[in-house]
C-alpha cells in the first residue's frame, strides 16, 4: 500500500524533536529559577485602556524589580481555562505568586486550585476572602468609588445642562457605588444636577457601549463617565459628541486630550511591587487587603485643560480631605431614587465600611433603575 | 460520503476488493491531514514574518498540550464541552443544515441545570443529577429544535436564525441570573445559588478531568452509530444529499430536520449541564465563554463525522492549552491561536474540493489487471 498512515501526534512529535535543540535550553532556563516567578492572568486584552491595562501596568512595574520574572496571559476565560492557566504557570514556570485579576476567577477557580499548591501564593483582585478559605489566598481591592466622587466634582463644574451620564456594565455593588459617588460628587457643586445611567449588561460589549453613550448625549448629558472593562469606546464616542469625559480604570486622556477632565485610576504598580517585595523579603501578605487614595491603591489622572480654576480648587481640597482619612461620600440625609430613606442626617458610610460592598440602590438624582 | 459500503463487483478477487476499500477510506484521512499540514505551513510563514520561530512554537505547543501528564490533563479538561458543541454542529450538518448557534443552547442548558439544581437541592445526587441533565437537554433541544422548525415550516435560514438566537439566549441568561434566579448572596457576580456538594459532578477516578469527557466521547460514538448504522441516520444522509428527492421518496423530512436539530441542541445543553455541575457550581455569565463557536470549527475539521470529532477536539483543546505557554515564552499575543485555527479552517474547507480528484483513492485503481 503506497499510503503512509500519518498521525498528527506523530507529526507533532517529529516537529518537537526537530525543534528540541533550540527550544529546550529556553525552557530549561525559565524553569531552573533562582528569581521568583510571578504570574499575571487577565480576562481581556492587556491594552484595553481599562481594567486589564491597569493590572498590566502593575505587572510592568513588577517586571522592573530585581529577582523577579514575570509571566503573563491575556484573554483567559472564567472557566476551567483559568484553572489550567494557573496550573500551567505553576507547572511549567514554577510560579510562586499568582495574580488572577478578574473577579470571576475567584470562586470556584482560585479556591479550587489553591489547596493543591500550598506553597504558591494566590492574590486575587476584588474577591471577598473570608475565614475558612485557603490561607494561601488573598483578596485585595481599592475604594475607587472615591475616585468617581472626585470625577463627579470636575463633572459638576463642567456641565452646563446639569445632566451628566454614566455608562455602566451591570447593576452590582461596585458599579452602583461608582454611579452614586459620581452623582454625589457633582452635587457638591450643584445639588440640581442629575445623572442618567444606562446599563449595557456586559463587561465588554463595544456596540452597546457606543449606543448607550450616544443615547446619553442625545438626552442632554454633557459629561460622561463609565464603568465597563474597556472605557475606550465610551471616551471616544462621548468626545466625538462634544461631551466632556471622566476616565475610569486607567488613564484615557490620550483618547480625548481636550475633553478629558480627570479619571479614577487603579494604582496597581504601587500595590503589586509592595506585595512582591513582601514575598521576596519572606513576609506574609494579608488575606484581606483594601485601600484607597491615601494608601496608594487608587490615583487620579492629571487634570485636563478644560478644568476651570474653581473646579481645580474644589477638587484639590476634597482630595486632601479624602487623603486625611475617614471621608464618607455616602452620608445622610440620603434617599434612594424612588424616594425611600437610606440614611438619616448624621449617618455616614465611610470609604472602608463593609456595607458599601453590598450596595443595591441608586441614590436620589440618579435617573435609572437597578433592575 | 466516503464511508459508504464498498460497491466493488463480487467477481473481483478479495485482495483487490480490500485494497479498494482501504483506498476509499484512506482518502477521508489523508486529505484532512494534508490540509492540516498545509494550514501549519502557512501559519509557519506567518510566524516567520513576525520574526518568531515556528519550530519553537510547535515544540512548545507539543510540550504544553501533549508532552507531559499535566499537559494531557490540561488538554482533556478543555475537551469535554468541545465534543458536545461539535456534535451540535455535526448532527444537523448531516441534513445539510449549518447550525452555528450551539453557544445559545449551551448557555441556556447551563441555566436550566443550575435552576433545576436549586429546586432539587434536597434530593440525592443519583436522582437529582439525571433530572438536571435531562432538563438542560430539554431546554437546549427546544432552543435548537426551534431553529429547525423555523427552517422547515417558515423557510428561515437556519444559520442566521441559530446565530441570532444565541445572542437572545445570552441576554436571557443574563436576565435570569441577574433577576429571577439570582442568589442574593452573589454580590458582584450575579449567579444562581451554589449547588450543594451531592449535586456536583466529580472527576473521573484517577484523573483530574470531570465525567463530562467520558460522556462526551460516549455521545460521539452513539452519534456515529445513529448516523452510520440506523435507518434514521441513513434517511438523514439522503435528505442532506437532496432534500427534494428525499421528500419525493416519502421520507419524513420535517421530523428529521426538527429531530436532528433538537438532538444537537440537547447535546449542547448537556455541555451546559456539565459546565455548571462539574466546573462552576452555579449558573452565571461565565457560561458564555465561546465553546459553542470553537465547536463549529471542530465539526468542520472532522467533516461532521462524530468519531473524527474526538481526535480533532483533543487536538484543538491541546492548541488552546498551549496558547498560554506560547504567550508566556514567545511573547505572542493570545490571538495567535486564532490565526492558526483560521489558517487550518480555510485550508480544510478548500480541501473539500479535492475529494474524488485523486485516482489513487478510487477502488477502480486497485482492480487487479488495470492497476500496476
**Greater pLDDT, B140 or B9:** B140
* Tens digits of residue pLDDT in B343-353: 998 998 888 88
* Tens digits of residue pLDDT in B244-297: 888 888 889 999 999 999 999 999 999 999 999 999 999 999 999 889 999 998
% of chain B surpassing 70 pLDDT: 95
Q: Domains (ranges, CATH) in chain B?
A: 29-47+75-353 (1.10.3470)
**Greater pLDDT, A298 or B243:** A298
The answer to whether A213 and A234 are in contact (CB under 8 A) is yes
In whole angstroms, how large is the CA radius of gyration of chain B? 22
Query: What 8-state DSSP symbol labels residue B203?
Result: B
Domain ranges of chain A: 35-142, 145-264+301-367
Beta-carbon contacts of residue B122 (< 8 Å; ≥ 6 apart): none
pLDDT for residue A31: 43
Task: Please name the residues between 116 and 135 in chain A that touch chain B, using a CB distance below 8 Å.
Answer: 126, 128
| Distance (Å, whole) CA B233 – CA B91 | 9
Q: Residue B46: is its pLDDT beyond 70?
A: yes
* Tens digits of residue pLDDT in B90-141: 999 999 999 999 999 999 999 999 999 999 988 888 999 999 999 999 999 9
pLDDT for residue A357: 85
The answer to whether B289 and A81 are in contact (CB under 8 A) is yes
Indicate the Cα dihedral angle A205, B178, A86, B273, nearest 10°.
-110
CA distances (Å), A123 to each of A71, A88, A271, B16, in order? 15, 17, 11, 66
Residue A363 bridge partners (DSSP): A336
| Local confidence band at B12 (pLDDT 50, 70, 90 cut-offs) | low
Name every chain A residue with its beta carbon within 8 A of the beta carbon of B190.
Answer: 170, 172
Name every chain B residue with its beta carbon within 8 A of the beta carbon of A3.
Answer: 22-23, 26, 30, 360
Dig out the grid coordinates for B42 from the structure. 502557512
Helix, coil or strand: residue B78:
helix
Beta-carbon contacts of residue A325 (< 8 Å; ≥ 6 apart): A294
CA distances (Å), B215 to each of A317, B87, B113, B210, B218, in order? 63, 12, 16, 10, 5
Other C-beta atoms closer than 10 Å to the C-beta of B1 total: 10
Task: For residue B279, give the nearest of A5, A79, A202 by CB distance.
Answer: A79
**Greater pLDDT, B244 or B143:** B143
Other C-beta atoms closer than 10 Å to the C-beta of B171 total: 14
- Domain A145-264+301-367 matching CATH 3.90.1570.10: the answer reads no
A298-300/A260-266 β-pairing: antiparallel
| Distance (Å, whole) CA A109 – CA A120 | 15
The answer to whether A77 and B289 are in contact (CB under 8 A) is yes
Block means of pLDDT (10 residues each) for chain A, length 371 residues? 43 44 42 78 92 95 95 91 93 94 91 94 89 93 95 97 96 94 97 96 92 97 96 96 96 95 96 95 91 94 96 97 92 94 93 89 95 75
Place of cell 463617565: A225
The answer to whether B56 and A23 are in contact (CB under 8 A) is yes
Please classify residue B69 by burial: count the beta carbons closer than 10 Å to its beta carbon, then call 0-12 exposed, 13-18 middle and 19+ buried.
exposed
Task: For residue B70, give the nearest of A3, A87, A173 by CB distance.
Answer: A87
Residue A81 in contact with partner chain B when CB distance is under 8 A: yes
The closest alpha carbon to B320, from B304, B340, B305, B300, belongs to: B340
pLDDT for residue B15: 75
Per mean pLDDT, which range of A89-103, B154-168, B356-370 is the poorest?
A: B356-370
- The vertex-B172 CA angle with B171 and B177, nearest 5°, equals 100
The pair phi, psi for residue A368, each rounded to 5°, is 155, 180
Name every chain A residue with its beta carbon within 8 A of the beta carbon of B179.
Answer: 371
Interchain pair A371, B179: CB under 8 A = yes
A368 membership: H or E segment, kind and range: none
| Local confidence band at B10 (pLDDT 50, 70, 90 cut-offs) | low
Chain A nearest CA to B227, separation (Å): 25
Picking from A18, A92, A110 by the largest number of B CB atoms within 10 A of its own CB, the best residue to mutate is A92
Interchain pair A73, B324: CB under 8 A = yes
Interchain pair A16, B58: CB under 8 A = yes
Other C-beta atoms closer than 10 Å to the C-beta of B113 total: 35
Q: What is the greatest pairwise CA distance in chain B?
A: 78
Please classify residue A5 by burial: count the beta carbons closer than 10 Å to its beta carbon, then call 0-12 exposed, 13-18 middle and 19+ buried.
exposed
Interchain pair B174, A76: CB under 8 A = no
pLDDT for residue B17: 76
Picking from A81, A82, A90 by the largest number of B CB atoms within 10 A of its own CB, the best residue to mutate is A81
| Distance (Å, whole) CA A303 – CA A253 | 9
Task: Please name the residues between 240 and 279 in chain A that touch chain B, using a CB distance below 8 Å.
Answer: none
**Greater pLDDT, B122 or B164:** B164
Residue A205 in contact with partner chain B when CB distance is under 8 A: no
Architecture of domain A35-142: 3-Layer(aba) Sandwich (3.40)
CA distances (Å), B44 to each of A9, A201, A263, A342, B232, in order? 18, 40, 43, 62, 43
Name every chain B residue with its beta carbon within 8 A of the beta carbon of A358.
Answer: 187
Residue A123 bridge partners (DSSP): A138
Task: For residue B190, give the nearest of A23, A85, A172 by CB distance.
Answer: A172
Q: Residue B310: is its pLDDT beyond 50?
A: yes
Per mean pLDDT, which range of A201-210, A353-362, B21-30, B329-338 is the poorest?
A: B21-30
| Distance (Å, whole) CA A301 – CA A54 | 13
Could you give the count of Cα atoms lying within 13 Å of A205 in the half-sphere of its Cβ? 17
Residue A108 in contact with partner chain B when CB distance is under 8 A: yes
Chain A nearest CA to B300, separation (Å): 17
pLDDT for residue B21: 79
Picking from B54, B61, B62 by the largest number of A CB atoms within 10 A of its own CB, the best residue to mutate is B62
Task: For residue B59, give the nearest of A15, A77, A128 by CB distance.
Answer: A15
In whole angstroms, how large is the CA radius of gyration of chain A? 23
Q: Do domains A35-142 and A145-264+301-367 have the same CATH topology?
A: yes
DSSP string, A10-72: HHHHHHHHHHHHHHHHHHHHHHS-SSEEEEEE-SS-TTSSSHHHHHHHHHHHHHTSTTEEEEE
Beta-carbon contacts of residue A78 (< 8 Å; ≥ 6 apart): A43, A102, A104, A105, A109, B286, B289
The answer to whether B190 and B173 are in contact (CB under 8 A) is no
Beta-carbon contacts of residue B281 (< 8 Å; ≥ 6 apart): A107, A108, B194, B195, B200
Picking from B28, B282, B324, B333 by the largest number of A CB atoms within 10 A of its own CB, the best residue to mutate is B324
Interchain pair B63, A16: CB under 8 A = yes
| Local confidence band at B7 (pLDDT 50, 70, 90 cut-offs) | low
Amino acid at each position: 500500500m503506497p499510503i503512509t498512515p500519518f498521525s498528527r501526534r506523530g507529526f507533532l512529535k517529529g516537529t518537537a524533536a526537530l525543534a528540541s535543540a533550540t527550544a529546550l535550553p529556553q525552557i530549561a532556563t525559565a524553569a531552573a529559577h533562582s528569581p521568583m516567578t510571578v504570574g499575571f492572568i487577565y480576562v481581556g486584552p492587556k491594552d484595553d485602556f481599562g481594567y486589564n491595562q491597569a493590572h498590566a501596568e502593575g505587572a510592568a512595574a513588577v517586571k522592573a524589580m530585581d529577582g523577579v520574572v514575570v509571566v503573563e496571559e491575556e484573554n483567559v476565560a472564567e472557566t476551567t481555562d483559568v484553572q489550567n492557566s494557573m496550573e500551567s504557570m505553576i507547572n511549567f514556570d514554577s510560579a510562586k505568586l499568582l495574580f488572577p485579576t478578574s473577579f470571576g476567577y475567584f470562586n470556584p477557580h482560585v479556591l479550587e486550585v489553591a489547596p493543591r499548591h500550598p506553597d504558591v501564593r494566590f492574590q486575587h483582585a476584588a474577591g471577598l476572602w473570608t475565614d475558612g478559605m485557603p490561607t494561601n489566598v488573598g483578596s485585595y481591592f481599592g475604594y475607587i468609588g472615591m475616585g468617581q466622587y472626585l470625577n463627579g466634582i470636575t463633572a459638576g463644574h463642567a456641565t452646563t445642562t446639569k445632566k451628566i451620564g454614566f455608562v455602566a456594565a451591570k447593576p452590582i455593588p461596585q458599579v452602583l457605588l461608582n454611579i452614586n459617588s459620581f452623582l454625589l460628587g457633582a452635587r457638591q457643586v450643584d445639588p440640581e444636577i442629575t445623572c442618567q445611567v444606562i446599563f449595557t449588561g456586559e463587561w465588554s460589549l463595544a456596540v452597546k457601549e457606543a449606543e448607550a453613550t450616544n443615547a446619553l448625549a442625545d438626552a442632554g448629558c454633557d459629561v460622561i463617565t463609565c464603568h465597563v472593562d474597556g472605557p475606550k469606546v465610551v471616551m471616544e464616542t462621548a468626545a466625538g459628541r462634544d461631551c466632556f469625559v471622566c476616565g475610569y480604570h486607567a488613564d484615557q486622556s490620550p483618547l480625548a486630550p481636550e475633553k478629558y477632565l480627570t479619571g479614577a485610576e487603579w494604582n496597581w504598580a504601587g500595590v503589586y511591587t509592595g506585595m512582591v517585595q513582601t514575598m521576596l523579603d519572606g513576609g506574609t501578605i494579608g488575606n484581606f487587603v483594601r485601600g484607597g487614595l491615601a494608601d496608594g491603591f487608587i490615583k487620579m489622572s492629571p487634570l485636563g485643560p478644560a478644568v476651570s480654576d474653581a473646579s481645580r480648587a474644589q477638587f484639590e481640597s476634597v482630595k486632601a480631605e479624602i487623603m486625611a482619612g475617614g471621608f464618607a461620600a455616602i452620608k445622610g440625609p440620603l434617599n434612594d431614587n424612588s424616594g425611600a430613606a437610606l440614611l438619616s442626617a448624621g449617618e455616614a458610610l465611610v470609604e472602608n465600611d463593609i456595607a458599601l460592598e453590598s450596595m443595591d440602590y441608586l441614590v436620589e438624582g440618579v435617573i435609572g433603575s437597578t433592575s | 460520503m466516503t464511508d459508504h459500503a464498498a460497491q466493488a463487483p463480487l467477481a473481483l478477487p478479495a485482495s483487490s476488493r480490500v485494497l479498494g476499500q482501504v483506498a476509499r477510506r484512506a482518502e477521508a484521512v489523508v486529505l484532512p491531514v494534508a490540509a492540516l499540514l498545509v494550514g501549519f505551513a502557512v501559519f509557519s510563514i506567518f510566524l516567520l514574518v513576525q520574526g518568531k520561530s515556528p519550530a519553537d512554537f510547535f515544540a512548545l505547543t507539543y510540550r504544553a498540550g501533549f508532552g507531559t501528564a499535566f499537559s494531557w490533563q490540561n488538554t482533556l479538561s478543555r475537551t469535554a464541552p468541545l465534543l458536545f458543541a461539535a456534535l451540535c454542529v455535526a448532527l444537523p450538518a448531516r441534513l445539510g443544515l449549518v447550525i452555528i448557534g450551539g453557544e445559545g443552547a449551551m448557555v441556556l442548558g447551563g441555566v436550566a441545570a443550575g435552576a433545576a439544581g436549586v429546586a432539587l437541592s434536597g434530593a440525592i445526587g443519583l436522582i437529582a443529577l439525571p433530572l438536571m441533565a435531562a432538563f438542560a437537554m430539554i431546554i437546549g433541544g427546544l432552543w435548537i429544535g426551534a431553529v429547525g422548525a423555523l427552517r422547515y415550516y417558515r423557510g428561515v435560514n437556519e444559520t442566521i436564525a441559530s446565530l441570532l438566537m444565541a445572542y437572545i439566549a445570552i441576554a436571557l441568561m443574563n436576565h435570569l441570573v441577574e433577576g429571577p434566579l439570582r442568589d442574593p448572596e452573589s454580590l458582584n457576580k450575579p449567579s444562581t445559588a451554589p449547588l450543594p456538594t451531592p449535586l456536583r459532578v466529580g472527576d473521573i477516578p484517577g484523573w483530574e478531568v470531570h465525567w463530562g469527557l467520558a460522556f462526551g466521547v460516549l455521545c460521539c460514538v452513539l452519534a456515529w452509530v445513529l448516523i452510520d448504522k440506523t435507518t434514521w441516520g441513513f434517511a438523514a444522509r439522503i435528505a442532506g444529499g437532496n432534500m427534494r428527492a428525499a421528500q419525493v421518496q416519502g421520507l419524513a423530512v420535517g421530523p428529521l430536520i426538527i429531530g436532528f436539530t433538537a438532538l444537537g441542541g440537547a447535546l449542547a445543553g448537556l455541555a451546559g449541564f456539565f459546565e455548571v455541575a462539574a466546573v462552576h457550581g452555579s449558573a452565571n455569565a461565565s457560561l458564555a465563554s465561546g465553546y459553542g463557536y470553537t465547536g463549529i470549527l471542530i465539526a468542520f475539521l472532522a467533516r461532521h463525522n462524530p468519531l473524527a470529532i474526538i481526535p480533532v477536539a483533543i487536538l484543538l483543546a491541546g492548541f488552546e492549552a498551549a496558547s498560554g505557554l506560547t504567550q508566556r515564552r514567545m511573547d505572542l499575543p493570545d490571538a495567535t491561536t486564532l490565526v492558526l485555527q483560521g489558517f487550518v479552517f480555510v485550508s480544510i474547507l478548500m480541501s473539500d474540493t479535492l475529494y474524488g480528484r485523486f485516482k489513487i483513492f478510487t477502488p477502480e485503481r486497485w482492480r487487479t489487471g488495470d492497476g500496476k
